[in-house]
């Protein structure tokens, strides 16, 4: 068959859902270049009547798709009750006759199935034909190839036989046609445990199914985001859907990878990072990359790997990486994750990215699906609270089964009222129901002892009231072990590793916190944890460490990778290696524990529970809180080699910094851990070798009392100034330019107070450059003036020369070209005195000077081009009625360079693209046209050309 086949689709009107599926199939084929005929395309009734219309379409069609279902088979065979399904009955008779006439030797008729269970419903006349399952993208592509006769493999030309001796011959063998597809590679070990009691959410589960299969509302969907406040059940919903997906053999997924950002803390002021996620995800996907690459590059590489195969990527709890409510609410603070998501949304992928957060991801707004963009690749679904009925059933399931002395059912009005009082908040209902079951015999009417009605608005207030009731009850009942174990989690903002818990329980006890846990038997400890887990207060991962609670997950998913230890076995065993600092003793870490990371034996709780416990511990037992953090600081910093390698190896040290600062040990944490071990002194290992600017910013934030304004007073003044500079540098490296202004300006003022004129000059210089980047030209001019003043006070010849070029460039951008030229000449005189062998400015300073010198010729060239454009525009003759002559087409302008950036104060129009790779002729002659008269009026002298080449050929020297 030559050309593109015309396709007729024969189907039965089983339901509205089925009709929509068939229409979507037809639309997809037409989108992919195959013309289709479908009864839905007819406006009303065809003039020739439906029987003749069907007959004509069957005659014209090169291929006929038979959408087989039970209803279709019944009507095709003529077994339907009278008066129903006459269309399929008629088409069935025509198809049967055509097959008979062709003696079944035709491939015009192609059976397709939406549901594999409908295979027995393929009509007998075409049962010998190949059929296609449309339950996945590969199934659709197989049908598409069959329609275009491009399925299979084109055989190679037949070559001469290569005979071998008979004793060396091999039997002919074929691949097993019944073989199964390779098992998907899966790692969900980084996701938290799901809720044991899950109710409702039928529409949301259906939405997830559609998003993965591409049916109906999920068509063309690349990213699905579930948005809801904490405790509503986002993670529980995702884990339940993953359980269903697992039971169905993962429904065609080739790769399944999950990650939870809740493991980095959930506080709004916490500077969480995507560095560890990018590092481990790239490794898991097998992507070779430079560890020092920028997060933008890592995000792009990861997006390419995810899109290369049918991948399900689950990103749980992304709000730590987003700006909290405010002017930038919902925007991602981490460039790597932002690039990953925007590239997957824009470029597409054969799989799906599933994301949960408390805030909608503002960076994906342009891709959002909605009335104005019905096929948008990103769908945001606001996950509401449970209905009164579902909430009542949840309360009943967890043990709230009485109203006074009377037993009640799951639909009782008392339970519905209780659900309504907490607005159907899933976590509150789960905790409340278990509390009433444990403390009040399951009596729903005793919920007034929890005082829910006076709780603060929002889910956090209700959760806090239930947790306070638990604390009081455990204290009254004398369950001090359970209460102490629960309070330990208040020291963590992430899952608590087994090694950290052991360090807290060691002698001597922490007064007011761990006395009941001293000398506790393992059996009693396990009993306490089991009871807390039964109350829903803590979560304990499955023994396999896969995080899905299934002990055989590792055996079912042999390709899955487990959590990588913070220090490899080799590094722990090589105690005499140079990696250990002289006199440093590496603490023994049992193989079952992963210091600082969630692994086997780790304890966790819902983030809202952790937040409450931490707040209560700081308020009620501040000394115990500080001592607990001090003990964790000592444990974590001694749990890995002195200089661990890689992002995973550094995680315990990053956590040690956080605990050290919370213990009031900011000075020790800064010197002993952050500078000496994470950065390895002046080597700056974490940024220069790993590109971990996000993780670095998170560590620096620990030293601030108020990001990014006030550094802790527990640090020396020079260290405070240094940390301000560190914060500003890392914010700039992450593209958060407006935020970088504040610490940079605060650091400058500290250097001035200390009369540290060299650092003050360099800080003012950096601040001026950042001002210009943001379009704050007047601020840049003022800061550049200060840099000259401080450089002169320092007496440093290099700084005095360099800061004058900074001021000159700011003057140039302000439009004050005469004063700018004077400053550049002054700086060049200083350069000639400082380095006679290099009398001209070079590197960045030389480029800036050439930029000014070439500005006149550039403007002249553009003026000539604009004048020529005006002359070449066609002008209409004045109309006889005396109408005014029409205006010429607008002349072109130079390229517009947006200097806004994040939070910009504005932008500047530029008349040229100023690049050091352009020659003077390139810049002065746009589009190859050289306006000679104007160039003669603004000549480029030999000295300017020499300066240009000097500016291009020298190596840049940093300030």
Give the per-residue SS3 of 414-480: HHHHHHHHCCCCHHHHHHHHHHHHHHCCCEHHHHHHHCCCCCCCCHHHHHHHHHHHHHHHHHHCCCH
Residue 135 lies in a domain: yes
- The H-or-E segment that residue 284 falls in is helix 275-284
Q: Are residues 345 and 268 in the same domain?
A: yes
Task: Pick the more confident residue, 308 or 944.
Answer: 308
Check residue 154 and give its pLDDT: 80
Cis peptide bond upstream of 444, omega within 30: no
Check residue 166 and give its pLDDT: 60
Q: pLDDT tens digits for 39-58?
A: 999 998 999 999 999 999 99
Residues 6+ apart with CB under 8 A from 881: none
Backbone dihedral region of 739: left (phi > 0), alpha (psi from -120 to 50 degrees) or beta?
A: alpha
Domain boundary among 432, 451, 470: 451
845 pLDDT higher than 60 = yes
Distance CA 494, CA 473 (A): 26
Check residue 600 and give its pLDDT: 47
Check residue 128 and give its pLDDT: 86
Q: Are residues 326 and 436 in the same domain?
A: no
CA distance to 468, 488, 851, 920, per residue, from 856 (Å): 73, 69, 10, 12
Q: Are residues 358 and 418 in the same domain?
A: no
Cis peptide bond upstream of 155, omega within 30: no
Q: Are residues 252 and 354 in the same domain?
A: yes
Check residue 711 and give its pLDDT: 93
Kindly write down the DSSP assignment for every residue of 373-390, as one continuous string: BTT-SEEEEE--PPPHHH
How many Cα atoms sit within 13 Å of 946 on the Cβ side? 7
Q: pLDDT tens digits for 815-842?
A: 999 999 999 999 999 999 999 999 999 9
Q: How many CB atoms lie within 10 A of CB 684?
A: 15
Residue 210 lies in a domain: yes
Distance CA 452, CA 281 (A): 43
296 pLDDT higher than 80 = yes
User: Tell me, what CATH number does 377's domain have?
Assistant: 3.40.50.300
Residue 303 lies in a domain: yes
Distance CA 895, CA 913 (A): 7
Is-contact 114 67, C-beta < 8 A? yes
Distance CA 572, CA 586 (A): 8
Check residue 163 and give its pLDDT: 63
Residue 492 lies in a domain: no
Residue 133 lies in a domain: yes
Q: pLDDT tens digits for 180-223?
A: 567 899 999 888 877 777 777 889 999 999 999 887 666 778 99
Residue 803 lies in a domain: no
Burial 831-851 (b: 16+ CB within 10 A, else e): beeeeeeeebbbbbbbbbbbb
Q: Are residues 120 and 195 in the same domain?
A: no
How many Cα atoms sit within 13 Å of 614 on the Cβ side? 19
748 pLDDT higher than 60 = yes
User: DSSP assignment, residue 508?
Assistant: S
Distance CA 320, CA 266 (A): 5
How many Cα atoms sit within 13 Å of 68 on the Cβ side? 27
Is-contact 495 263, C-beta < 8 A? yes
Q: Are residues 339 and 214 in the same domain?
A: yes
For residue 613, the SS3 value is helix
Q: pLDDT tens digits for 879-938?
A: 444 444 443 344 344 333 333 333 333 333 333 333 333 333 232 222 222 332 332 233
What domain range includes position 443?
385-451
Q: What is the tally of structural domains in the chain? A: 3
Task: Pick the more confident residue, 218 or 242.
Answer: 242
Domain boundary among 148, 171, 203: 148
Distance CA 628, CA 638 (A): 16
Residue 297 lies in a domain: yes
Q: pLDDT tens digits for 657-712?
A: 999 999 999 999 999 999 999 999 888 899 999 999 999 999 999 999 998 889 99
430 pLDDT higher than 60 = yes
Q: Is the dihedral of CA 834, 839, 840, 843 positive or negative?
A: negative
Average pLDDT over all residues of the chain: 81
Kindly write down the DSSP assignment for every residue of 835-853, as one continuous string: -TTS-S--HHHHHHHHHHH
Q: Are residues 414 and 436 in the same domain?
A: yes
Residues 6+ apart with CB under 8 A from 539: 192, 193, 533, 603, 604, 605, 606
């Amino acid at each position: 068959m030559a050309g593109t086949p015309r396709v007729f689709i024969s189907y039965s009107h089983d339901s509205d859902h089925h009709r929509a599926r068939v229409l979507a199939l037809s639309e997809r084929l037409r989108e992919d270049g195959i013309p289709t005929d479908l009864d839905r395309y007819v406006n009303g009734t065809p003039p020739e009547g439906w029987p003749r219309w069907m007959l004509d379409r069957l005659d014209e069609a090169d291929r006929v798709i038979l959408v087989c279902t039970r209803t279709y088979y019944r009507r095709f065979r003529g077994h339907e009750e009278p008066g129903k399904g006459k269309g399929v009955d008629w088409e069935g008779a025509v198809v049967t006759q055509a097959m008979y006439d062709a003696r079944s030797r035709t491939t015009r008729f192609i059976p397709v199935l939406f549901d594999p269970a409908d295979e027995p419903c393929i009509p007998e006349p075409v049962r010998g034909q190949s059929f296609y399952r449309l339950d996945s993208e590969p199934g659709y592509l197989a049908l598409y190839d069959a329609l275009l006769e491009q399925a299979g493999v084109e055989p190679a030309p037949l070559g001469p036989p290569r005979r071998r001796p008979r004793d060396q011959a091999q039997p002919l063998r074929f691949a097993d046609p019944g073989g199964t597809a390779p098992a998907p590679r899966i790692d969900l070990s980084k996701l938290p445990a799901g809720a044991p009691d899950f109710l409702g959410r039928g529409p949301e589960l259906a939405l997830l199914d559609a998003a993965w299969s591409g049916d109906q509302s999920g068509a063309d969907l690349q990213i699905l985001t579930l948005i809801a406040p904490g405790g509503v059940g986002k993670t529980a919903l995702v884990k339940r859907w993953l359980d269903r997906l697992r039971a169905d053999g993962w429904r065609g997924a080739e790769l399944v990878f999950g990650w939870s950002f809740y493991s980095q803390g959930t506080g709004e002021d916490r500077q969480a990072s995507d560095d560890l996620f990018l590092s481990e995800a790239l490794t898991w996907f097998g992507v070779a990359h430079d560890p020092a690459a920028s997060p933008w590059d890592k995000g792009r590489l990861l997006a390419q790997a995810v899109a290369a195969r049918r991948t399900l990527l689950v990103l749980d709890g992304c709000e730590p990486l987003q700006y909290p409510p405010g002017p930038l609410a919902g925007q991602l603070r981490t460039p790597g994750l932002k690039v990953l998501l925007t590239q997957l949304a824009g470029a597409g992928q054969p799989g799906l990215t599933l994301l949960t957060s408390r805030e909608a991801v503002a960076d994906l707004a342009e891709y959002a699906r909605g009335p104005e963009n019905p096929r948008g690749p990103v769908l945001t679904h606001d996950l509401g609270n449970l209905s009164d009925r579902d909430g009542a059933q949840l309360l009943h399931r967890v043990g709230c089964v009485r109203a006074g002395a009377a037993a009640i059912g799951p639909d009782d009005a008392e339970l519905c009222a209780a659900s309504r009082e907490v607005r159907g908040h899933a976590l509150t209902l789960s905790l409340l129901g278990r509390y009433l079951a444990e403390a009040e015999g399951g009596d729903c009417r005793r919920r007034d002892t929890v005082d829910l009605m006076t709780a603060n608005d929002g889910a956090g207030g209700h959760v806090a009231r239930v947790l306070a009731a638990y604390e009081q009850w455990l204290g009254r009942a004398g369950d001090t072990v359970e209460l102490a174990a629960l309070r330990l989690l208040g020291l963590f903002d992430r899952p608590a590793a087994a090694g950290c818990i052991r360090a807290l329980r060691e002698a001597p006890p922490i007064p007011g916190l761990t006395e009941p846990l001293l000398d506790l038997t393992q059996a009693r400890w396990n009993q306490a944890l089991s009871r807390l887990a039964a109350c829903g207060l803590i979560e304990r991962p499955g023994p396999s460490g896969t995080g899905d609670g299934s002990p055989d997950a590792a055996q079912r998913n042999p390709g899955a990778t487990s959590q990588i230890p913070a220090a490899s076995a080799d590094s722990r065993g090589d105690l005499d290696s140079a990696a250990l600092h002289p006199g440093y003793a590496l603490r023994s870490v049992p193989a079952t524990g992963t210091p600082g990371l969630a692994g086997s034996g780790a304890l966790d709780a819902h983030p809202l529970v952790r937040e409450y416990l931490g707040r209560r511990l700081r308020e009620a037992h501040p000394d115990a809180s500080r001592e607990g953090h001090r003990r964790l600081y000592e444990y974590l910093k001694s749990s890995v080699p002195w200089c661990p390698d890689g992002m995973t190896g550094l995680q315990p040290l990053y956590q040690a910094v956080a605990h050290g600062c919370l213990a009031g040990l900011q000075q020790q944490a800064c010197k002993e851990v952050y500078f000496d071990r994470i950065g390895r002194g002046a080597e700056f290992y974490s940024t220069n070798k790993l590109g971990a600017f996000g993780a670095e910013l998170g560590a620096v934030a620990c030293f601030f009392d108020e990001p990014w304004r006030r550094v802790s007073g527990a640090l020396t003044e020079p260290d405070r100034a240094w940390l301000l500079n560190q914060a500003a540098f890392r914010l700039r490296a992450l593209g958060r330019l407006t935020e970088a202004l504040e610490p940079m300006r605060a650091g400058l003022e500290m250097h001035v107070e200390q009369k540290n004129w060299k650092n003050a000059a360099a800080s003012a210089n950096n601040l001026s450059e950042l001002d210009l980047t943001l379009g704050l030209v007047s601020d840049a001019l003022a800061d550049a003036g200060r840099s000259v003043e401080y450089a002169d006070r320092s007496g440093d010849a290099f700084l005095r020369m360099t800061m004058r070029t900074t001021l000159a460039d700011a003057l140039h951008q302000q439009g004050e070209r005469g004063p700018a030229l004077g400053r550049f000449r002054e700086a060049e005189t200083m350069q000639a005195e400082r380095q006679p062998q290099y009398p001209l400015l070079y590197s960045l300073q030389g480029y800036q000077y050439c930029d000014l010198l070439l500005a006149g010729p550039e403007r002249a060239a553009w003026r000539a081009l604009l004048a020529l454009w005006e002359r070449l525009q066609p002008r209409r003759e004045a109309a006889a009625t005396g109408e005014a002559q029409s205006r010429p087409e607008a002349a072109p302008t130079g390229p517009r360079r947006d200097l806004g950036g994040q939070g910009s104060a504005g932008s500047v129009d530029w008349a040229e693209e100023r690049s050091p790779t352009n020659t003077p002729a390139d810049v002065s002659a746009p589009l190859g046209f050289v306006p000679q008269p104007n160039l003669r009026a603004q000549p480029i002298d030999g000295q300017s050309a020499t300066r240009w080449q000097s500016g291009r050929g020298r190596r840049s020297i940093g300030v």
